Structure 1
Amino acid sequence: MDTSSLAGLHRWFADYCRTFHNDNEEHNRNIRLKEEHTAKVCAVMEILADSLALSPEDRRIAVAVALFHDIGRFEQYRRFRTFKDSSSVNHAELGGRVLAEGKVLAGLPEEEQRLIIGAVGLHNVFRIPAMLGDRQRLFLRLIRDADKLDIWRVFIEFYGQPAEERASAVSLGFPDIPECTPAVLDTLLRGEMVDLATLRTLSDFKLLQLSWVFDLNFPRSRELVRERGYVELIADTLSRTKCVERAIGVVRAALCARGGEA
């Protein structure tokens, strides 16, 4: 993929997004949220690519993965009015189908098409499949980190906004109450990622977001979390019981102790 091809993919994405806007402001707010998220994930991907000194070709593939990682969200929201996969459709798999069936990547070499569609289709899996090749694994690890690094921003902004200004689909419909589910807290205390299926409240969802620290792949990703203060900003939105404080402590320790892979 050359720079001209990547620029063409950016133009296609912008044109595609415009087809989802309508006369409903709530709808458009949710669509704009995903457009902004995509732009910022692309920017984070550039930072991670710099830290790994990727070749120009691999950098462009990585940015294309970032550009398209949430392409399925637009059709998901139009059809189901939610970003909750369990109540609608797996947005990553849908994104892979949008790219493949629309022949969006038709001008690229077949290997690059496979790498991009594969990373898009798997970017939201709970754990990276063991059978992937090294290059598949590289781009999947990159997009998982870049995605998390901006999702933290999205939620921190959401928690600070008045209700009438929030993109309604962000909270996935969880009740905004201070209670945390014991099983969710226990998972954090073990230093493990929280499964979305175990959540009951918005506070649980915040704990899940904190548990993503355990799944970061690169040293620069951890540096960015620390530089941006994401753990503390999310922690400040929680009701700080003793158990919640212990869980936050485990997250802080993991963020400082783990160097990540190169």
Structure 2
Amino acid sequence: MEENCLERLENWFEGYVGPFLETDAEGQKNILLKVEHTRRVCRMMDLLTAGESLSSPDRRLAGAVALLHDVGRFPQYRRWRTFRDSCSDNHARLAVEVIRRERLLHGLPREERLLIEEAVRFHNLLSIPPRIKSPTELFLRLIRDADKLDIWRVFLDLFALPRHERASAALLGLPERATVSGACLAELARGRIVRLERVQCVNDYKLLLISWCYDLNFTTSYRLLREFDYLASLAAELPDDTDVRAAIDSAREYVAARACPTSP
């Protein structure tokens, strides 16, 4: 991808999100959350692709995927006033609709258009579909990691706010409880991703966020996660329970081992 193509997309994004802010105060708070998230995912992608020594054209391609991965969130929220896909529509599918309707990739080589669309379309799946092949798989893994690296930041910032100041759509309407669900804790303790359908409360969602450490793809991703110390910050938000601490300690050890892999 040429440099001017990415600059054109960046200019388009800034103009595109403006009209979605013409809403009530609560809506503005939720839209701004996603605008800032997109910008920070782009920054995370830049750190990640630099750390993994990608070429300049590939770094720009990855930047385009990062910029466009959540553009479906804006029409989603305008229509349904939620970011929960199960109560509205798949935001990744909506993003591809926006990309095509706005003709954002017009003029790019066909292989680059398909790569960007597929990476956007599948970035939010629980796992990467087996039919996805290289080089699309590389960019899909990159956006999944860059996305997580900022979502951790998003929620830690939210948890630091009084509940009435939080962007209401971010926590999916989940109730506050002092405990965690046994099913979610068991998944984390096994080193598995906590599934959203098992989540019953905000504390369960924190376990889900921690479990994402088992689904990163690059040494740079683990290094950044360790540097930002997100898992320790999330742990501080959870009940001081022996089983909870043990599951989180295992997750942190897993991250540490992959952030500093032993040389062969």
> One fold, TM greater than 0.5?
yes
Task: Quote the Cα distance in structure 2 between the aligned partners of 1:260 and 1:105.
Answer: 38
Task: Quote the Cα distance in structure 2 between the aligned partners of 1:48 and 1:65.
Answer: 13
The alpha carbon displacement at 1:210 in A equals: 0.1
Q: TM (normalized to structure 2)?
A: 0.96
Question: Residue 131 of structure 1 aligns with which residue?
Answer: 131
Query: What is the 5 A alignment of 1:49-64?
Result: 49-64=49-64
The alpha carbon displacement at 1:245 in A equals: 1.1
Q: TM (normalized to structure 1)?
A: 0.96
Question: Residue 173 of structure 1 aligns with which residue?
Answer: 173
Mark the CA change 1:242 to 1:86 in structure 2 (over 3 Å): closer, same or farther.
Answer: same
Give CA deviations for 1:199-247 in whole Å, capped at 9, x if unaligned: 1111100000000000010111111111111001011011121221121
Query: What is the SS of the residue equivalent to 1:179?
Result: coil
Task: Quote the Cα distance in structure 1 between the aligned partners of 2:202 and 2:95.
Answer: 26
Give CA deviations for 1:6-37 in whole Å, capped at 9, x if unaligned: 11100111111012112411101111111110
Structure 2 stretches lacking a partner, 5+ long: none
The answer to whether the 8 A contact 2:226-2:259 is kept is no
The answer to whether the 8 A contact 2:223-2:260 is kept is no
Task: Quote the Cα distance in structure 2 between the aligned partners of 1:23 and 1:136.
Answer: 37
The answer to whether the 8 A contact 1:217-1:260 is kept is no
The alpha carbon displacement at 1:83 in A equals: 0.7
Question: Residue 22 of structure 1 aligns with which residue?
Answer: 22
Task: Quote the Cα distance in structure 2 between the aligned partners of 1:210 and 1:140.
Answer: 21
Query: What is the SS of the residue equivalent to 1:212?
Result: helix
Where does structure 1 differ by over 2 angstroms across 4 or more consecutive aligned residues?
Answer: 257-261
Mark the CA change 1:44 to 1:13 in structure 2 (over 3 Å): closer, same or farther.
Answer: same
The alpha carbon displacement at 1:258 in A equals: 3.0
| Residue 148 of structure 1 pairs with residue 148 of structure 2 | yes
The answer to whether the 8 A contact 1:76-1:91 is kept is yes
Task: Quote the Cα distance in structure 2 between the aligned partners of 1:179 and 1:68.
Answer: 37
Give CA deviations for 1:161-199 in whole Å, capped at 9, x if unaligned: 122321111111110112211111110111011111111
Task: Quote the Cα distance in structure 2 between the aligned partners of 1:260 and 1:123.
Answer: 26
What is the letter of the counterpart of residue 119 of structure 1? A
The alpha carbon displacement at 1:259 in A equals: 5.2
| Residue 208 of structure 1 pairs with residue 208 of structure 2 | yes
The answer to whether the 8 A contact 1:188-1:250 is kept is no
Query: What is the 5 A alignment of 1:95-110?
Result: 95-110=95-110
Task: Quote the Cα distance in structure 2 between the aligned partners of 1:191 and 1:33.
Answer: 30
Query: What is the SS of the residue equivalent to 1:187?
Result: helix
Structure 1 stretches lacking a partner, 5+ long: none
Task: Quote the Cα distance in structure 1 between the aligned partners of 2:93 and 2:260.
Answer: 27
The alpha carbon displacement at 1:107 in A equals: 2.2
Q: Percent identity?
A: 46
| Residue 72 of structure 1 pairs with residue 76 of structure 2 | no
The answer to whether the 8 A contact 2:123-2:143 is kept is yes
